[in-house]
Structure 1
Amino acid sequence: MSQHNVIRGSRIGAAPERLPQRYEPAPRRTVTYWCRNGHWMEILIAADAVAPPQWDCRRCGHPAGPDAQNPPGRARAEPHKTHLAYVKERRTDEEGAAILAEALAALHRRRGR
């Protein structure tokens, strides 16, 4: 068995090790966020980027803010809407009745009535 094509000590997709003198990481800063449940987290962002006003807590999923004394309240969940509720937002009752009548007429034509 020929072993001249075998690369030992590596895996598929492995990249060469970067040497520290070849690159310099972008300047970053740490932003701390707190949620209502007392959890806190530190996020690294670019030094010149604007920090978002809220971040989702990694532990409980509630919104977290940069002010430890006044964290944001719980996000109010929108109630589940049915398909009919979305349709009624877009169409009036008269438009709905006209569409229904048109669909029923097409159905009756197909069935030969």
Structure 2
Amino acid sequence: MASGNAIRGSRVGAGPMGEAERGESAPRTRISFWCSNGHETQPSFAGDAQVPDTWDCPRCGFPAGKDRDSPPDPPRTEPYKTHLAYVRERRSDADGEAILAEALAKLRGEI
């Protein structure tokens, strides 16, 4: 007994599709980019698109440039800093002592 679903087993885009039914493809350009690890990437761009100067390498994530002999330098990563390290950058030890003395005076009820 049929389930009553007339288009069972088909999906959008299914069926014989050829160049005649889709139309012509847009002209494409493949550009080579190289990262500092020597990986080559060849993304495809539309013929009239503006090609960027750098492209992210899909293998290592470093920036890649069009010049094979001088690829862009990898990004410099900052080491992880704690909240206390950021506070110490903003305040001197004398400032910290003054703030601590003021907070202790408030707790003791002196202010």
Normalized against structure 2, the TM-score is what? Answer: 0.61
Structure 1 unaligned regions, length at least 5: 87-96, 98-113
Q: Report whether the alignment pairs 1:47 with 2:44.
A: no
1:16 alignment partner AA: G
Matches for 1:1-113 after TM superposition, within 5 Å: 1-10=1-10, 14-17=11-14, 18-20=17-19, 21-78=21-78, 80=80
- How far does residue 23 in structure 1 lie from its aligned partner after superposition? 1.2
Distance 1:40 1:23, change over 3 A: same
Q: Give the number of equivalent residue pairs.
A: 101
- Give the corresponding residue for 2:103: none
Give me the whole-angstrom Cα distance separating, in 2, the residues matched to 1:6 and 1:82. 63
RMSD: 3.6
Q: Percent of aligned positions with the same letter in both sequences?
A: 49
SS at match of 2:41: strand
Give me the whole-angstrom Cα distance separating, in 2, the residues matched to 1:49 and 1:79. 38
Give me the whole-angstrom Cα distance separating, in 2, the residues matched to 1:82 and 1:55. 32
Distance 1:83 1:27, change over 3 A: farther
Structure 2 unaligned regions, length at least 5: 87-98, 100-111
Distance 1:59 1:3, change over 3 A: same
Normalized against structure 1, the TM-score is what? Answer: 0.60
